Structure 1
């Protein structure tokens, strides 16, 4: 168990996730068909809301990783989620705090698409 604990660095994961979400760089951003179909101004408002989200609570962020949120923009209710995959995007990252072995993927979807 000690080996697993050393791989989990929630403060580092949180910092990486926040930096990625705020800048939309350093990983891959995926929007669902529903988000892509929104009017351009609504899509822009959704992206701005995701980037500025900071309403993390123990209920929506129990591990303190800042990897999920729910926003509303121009009447669109949206979920966003950050996942950490290995560099080949085949399975989960062996250490989501280490960008040398991790590719972050931010998925933005309409709540009704979940």
Structure 2
């Protein structure tokens, strides 16, 4: 994959993660079971996450993160689907060909 394509994927992923406006956002049962104030803290932590390194983002796509919020280990990940939502996207850099899904979960649910 080209560097320009990777940068575009990261940009699109960051847009979804920071705004929740350009795809679907799913909260797992474990996250939904947390108190509302803690859920809000988790969401804010995901939206403001910037700790990308070669170790946790080896492909440079900004498609996964791990963090701890008030003692809870939280993972978030972004998956790429074709517009029919039945298959993987052929080109995650093209928003016309891709539907993004951000899932936020407790690490123990992974």
TM over 0.5: yes
Aligned with 2:36 (options 11, 33, 40): 40
Q: Could you say which structure has the larger radius of gyration?
A: 1
Q: Which segments of 5 or more consecutive residues in structure 2 lack a partner in the other structure? A: none
Q: Structure 1: how far apart are the matches of 2:52 and 2:87?
A: 26
Q: Structure 2: how far apart are the matches of 1:89 and 1:76?
A: 30
Give 4+ residue runs of structure 1 displaced > 4 Å after superposition.
none
Q: Tell me if 1:62 matches 2:63.
A: no
The root-mean-square deviation of aligned C-alpha atoms, in Å, is: 1.2
Q: CA deviation at 1:113?
A: 0.6
TM-score, normalised by the number of residues in structure 1: 0.91
Aligned with 1:14 (options 10, 19, 24): 10
* Cross-structure match for 2:92: 96
Tell me the number of residue pairs that the alignment of Structure 1 and Structure 2 aligns: 109
Q: Structure 2: how far apart are the matches of 1:101 and 1:48?
A: 28
Residue by residue over 1:4-38, the C-alpha shift from the partner in whole angstroms, topping out at 9 and shown as x without a partner, is x46x8100000000111000110000111000000
Q: Structure 2: how far apart are the matches of 1:23 and 1:75?
A: 25
TM-score, normalised by the number of residues in structure 2: 0.95
